[in-house]
Structures are given as structure tokens and as C-alpha cells.
Amino acid sequence: MISNLPPSGFRDFLPRECRARAKAAKIISEAASSAGFQAMETPAVEDLAVLTGKGSGENERLIFQILKRGEKLKEEFDGLILKPGQASPGLADSGLRFDLTVPLSRYYARHQGFLPHPFKAFHMGPVWRAERAQKGRYREFIQCDFDVLGSEDLACELDVVSTIVSALRDLGLAEGLSVSLNDRRVLAGDLREAGVSAEFEGRTLILLDKKDKMPEEVFTRELDGLLGEKTAKALSGALARDASSAAAEPLARLRDLQGSISRLCPWAEFKIDRGLVRGFDYYTGPVFEIRHPRAAGSIAGGGRYDGLIQAFGGRPTPAFGGSIGFERVMLLLEEMKGSESGEDGARVCVTIFSPELRGETFAAAARLRARGLKVDVCPLSGRLKSQFKYADATGARWAIVIGPDEAAAGRFKLKDLRSGEEALETWEELNARIQSAAAMEAHLA
């Protein structure tokens, strides 16, 4: 028998989960569209040359590679003799995208003549990484990226960060939102000021990036070990200072951003964190990271990456981008609200009394739908008990029964699935009852 599980690290979604995910995706898309970010899409599959070009870094070894097909695959194998341990030859020509930034770069290089300049892009979709599967880490997950390409103005930073922070507010996550800001040039200045030599810069940044994941004293010990006590102390001093002699202008710009965005999004706290690295080595200017008190890691982040976009032969293009960690946000929403109720499912379920009344029953359901109601028809006829069970399982509030007497009288039996009460009603009475219940629930929500 074939296993009914998806591959390790991949997920199925039950209807309840699909509704919650679709709702969150809609809120995020609307925040993007409302602020003038334009939806764009790229395919799941890219040539390996694109994926392994500039910008992939660490992620390159996590690519799901796609086997060549037909003659092309045969050519790779013809006469092939592999020695133990030898690397795989050119068996793959393409792979699944591991982020949305590499495809965006290719897309912009190809289409920039047809896009507004600057281009404010909203790019949302699944990405795939062949990471070791573990709790909360999946091999297929959704990314939501907001990017402004083609402008160096601080408006990009304001636009992307405020749109992301507004989307998080619209998701119900305003309370306790905290945004850390830094600038890579300020950080580089701090390292130079403290006397960290170029040789140790990379390892120092990696250590700073992991600071939040380790106890304070472990961090201090590791920093001392890496740089020597004297330089480590000088660095801690530089990061704690208000000024930056090596990067005064980027720091002033960062303060400007902090001031404007604090006024714009008063529901979140914006602070400058001089030690913030935010991973990727392609960042060249401001970086940010958003945290929520109930989430372990960051739930959004990004930065300026002025050198990346032209890798595919486009013109030199300044760029600032940020993304919402969709899976982390979903986890957070689920923990905060408990499991979603069936509220978005069909509220009314019409049963089919007998095969003869099937057509009439569907027609009745269509009339109710024309009034804007969600109306399910149970796809069984007869055996009302099974049909009530179905209605209940779908989260319906009411079940409707139309027997031959009811059909003849233009009425139907309404069963309240919560109270068990039954009543004989006309369509008008039902409609009024449903509208008032909906209004009541909207009021309570």
C-alpha cells in the first residue's frame, strides 16, 4: 500500500487551515495594493544558472534540483562511470526557487522596460528549501516580499517598513510590535572604529547575528575568544555609543527614518539596534527586523541591497526590500486566537429530502445564494440523519429540510443546529433570521 503522507517537511492543509491562511494572505495583499505595491509573479522553477548565480549564498546547497528529461538526461548517462564519492554530474538543469529575491532580480532585468520606474513590487508565493525538516521549519513555505527597485530615496525604507507594519496591524498583531533598525554602513564603521581587522569582520558579523539566540555570557565569551578581550570591549563600546564617527551620515539618515516612521506607525516601537546584522551578506544600507512579544524569532525583516539587482544584466539598480515571515505569522495567529471557528464556511446547509425533490432543492439554494448567502447543499438524498451530521461537520448553523408538503406550500423546515429547535418558515422569514444573526455576530466579533 502506498503511504498517504506527504513527503517529509511538506504539508497538507485542512479546510479550516486553508481559510485562515487565505484570510491572512488577503489582508497582506490588500495592505500591499492599498499602498501602491504591484503584484508580480515568477515561476516555481528557475534555471540552475539563475539560482546559483549571485545572491544565493548559503541557500545554494538547499536547492531542490530537477532532473533533466529525455535525451538530455540520456546524454549525461551515456558511458558514464562514476567513482565512489564522486559528485553528481550535470543531471539537473533547473530547480525550485529558494527565495523570491533571486527571481525578482531576473524578472526586473527582463521586464524593467514595461514597469513603472521606480518599481514597487509585491511578490508572494511558495519557496522550497531542502532543509532538515523539523518542528516549525518546512521545506515548502510562503514568502511575502515587498521591494522598491530603482530609488535610493529614504522613501523606499519608509514605504516598505510602514506597509509591512500596517499589514501586521491589520492581521491583529499591533500590540507589542517592535522594530529594530540599523544600517550596515554604521555597523561596518563600528567594527572599524573598534579595530576589528578585515579578516575577522565576517565571523564577527555572524556572531553578532546569532547574539539573540544565546545567553549574554556565552556571547561575551565567544566575542572575546574571536577578537581578544580588548577589541571585543572596544566593539561593545562602539555599539553602545550614540554617535558614529566613521558613519555619521548613514546614522543621521537612520535617525531620520526612525523619527518619521515612529510618527507614521505609532502602534509599533522603532528602536535603533547598532548590533543588528540581519543575515544576508548582500545588504548594503539600512536593515530592519520586526518582533512580536509572543513569537520566538523575528516575524519580518529586510534591508537595502543596492548591488544585487543588476546581476542579470540590468542597469545598476538601488533596491530596498522586506518580507513577512508568513508561516511564523500563521503560527502566531493560531496560538493567539486558538483554532479558527468555522465562521467562514457555509452557514446554511440545505438537505435533500428525496431524489424527486433534488432539482427543486438546488433551485432553492441558488435563490438564497443570489441574496448573498453562503448555502451548501448536502450531496446525499434521503436519510436526513446523515445529512444533519454532514451539516454539523461543515460548521453550518442551520439545516433546511424541504419535504413534499413544504415544497407545495412554499415553506421549509428550519433546524437550528445549535439549539436543535425546528420551525416552519417562509423564505422571507429565513432571510430575515439569517441576516439578523449575521449582524448580531458581526457586532459581537
Give residues 320-379 in contact with a second copy (rule: CB under 8 A). 344-346, 349, 352, 355, 358-359, 362-363, 365-366, 369, 373-379
Nearer to a second copy by Cβ, of 3 and 419: the residue is 3
* C-alpha grid cell, residue 375: 448555502
Q: How far is the CB of 187 from a second copy (least distance, A)?
A: 24
Least distance from a second copy to the Cβ atom of residue 211, Å:
30
Hey, what amino acid is at 46? E
CB 217 to a second copy: min, Å: 35
CA distance 395 to 440: 18
Q: How far is the CB of 38 from a second copy (least distance, A)?
A: 4
Which CB atom, from 177 or from 239, has the smaller least distance to a second copy?
177
Q: Is 117 in the site for a second copy (CB under 8 A)?
A: yes
Shortest Å distance, C-beta 293 to a second copy:
24
Half-sphere exposure of 135 (CA within 13 A, CB side): 1
| DSSP bridge partners of 292 | none
Coil/strand/helix, residue 69: coil
Cβ at position 227, least distance to a second copy in Å: 34
Contact flag: residue 13 with a second copy (CB under 8 A): yes
- Binding a second copy (rule: CB under 8 A), the pick from 27, 60, 110, 195 is 110
Helix locations, 210-325, DSSP H: 216-227, 229-240, 248-264
Cell numbers given for 126: 511558495
Grid-cell match 501602491, residue found = 36
**5 vs 198, beta carbon nearer a second copy:** 5
> Residue 372 CB, nearest distance to a second copy (Å)?
9
Nearer to a second copy, 27 or 188 (CB): 27
- How is residue 150 annotated by DSSP? S
Of residues 215 and 316, the one with the C-beta less far from a second copy:
316
CB 347 within 8 A of CB 400: no
Can residue 11 be called a binding residue for a second copy (CB under 8 A)?
yes
Nearer to a second copy, 226 or 272 (CB): 272
Contacting range for a second copy; rule: CB under 8 A; set: 103-111, 171-179, 218-226, 242-250 = 103-111
**Contact assessment for residue 250 and residue 285, using Cβ atoms and an 8 Å cutoff:** yes
Say how far apart CA 235 and CA 137 lie, in whole Å.
33
> Cell 547574539 maps to which residue?
211
Contact present, 139 and 265 (Cβ < 8 Å): no
Residues 138-177 that bind a second copy (CB under 8 A): 139-140, 148, 151, 153-156, 158-159, 162, 166
Q: Which is nearer to a second copy, 112 or 236 (CB)?
A: 112
Cα–Cα distances in angstroms (integers) from residue 213 to residues 58, 207, 210, 331, 343, in the given order: 19, 10, 5, 19, 39
Contact between 106 and a second copy per CB under 8 A: yes
Minimum distance from residue 312 beta carbon to a second copy (Å)? 5
Query: Residue 242 CB, nearest distance to a second copy (Å)?
Result: 21
The C-alpha atoms of residue 79 and residue 75 are separated, in whole angstroms, by 9
- Near a second copy by CB under 8 A: residue from 169, 200, 312, 427: 312
* Alpha-carbon span 223 to 225, nearest angstrom: 5
Window of 42-50, 188-196, 236-244, 322-330 that interacts with a second copy by CB under 8 A: 42-50
Q: Work out whether 74 is an interface residue with a second copy (CB under 8 A).
A: yes
Say whether residue 198 binds a second copy (CB under 8 A): no
Nearest partner of 344 among 398, 394, 399, 415, judged by Cα: 394
What angle, 0 to 180 degrees and rounded to 10, lies between the N-to-C axes of helices 154-170 and 248-264?
A: 40
Residue number, 275 or 345, with CB nearest to a second copy: 345
Q: Are 324 and 333 in contact (CB under 8 A)?
A: no
329 CB neighbour count, 10 Å cutoff: 24
Whats the size of the chain, residue-wise? 445
Provide, rounded to whole angstroms, the least separation between the CB of residue 6 and a second copy: 5
Residues numbered 252-271 forming contacts with a second copy, rule: CB under 8 A: 259-260, 263-264
Shortest distance (Å) from residue 186 CB to a second copy: 19
Q: Taking contact as CB under 8 A, which single stretch among the options 3-11, 227-235, 237-245, 296-304 is the one that binds a second copy?
A: 3-11
DSSP single-letter state for residue 213: G
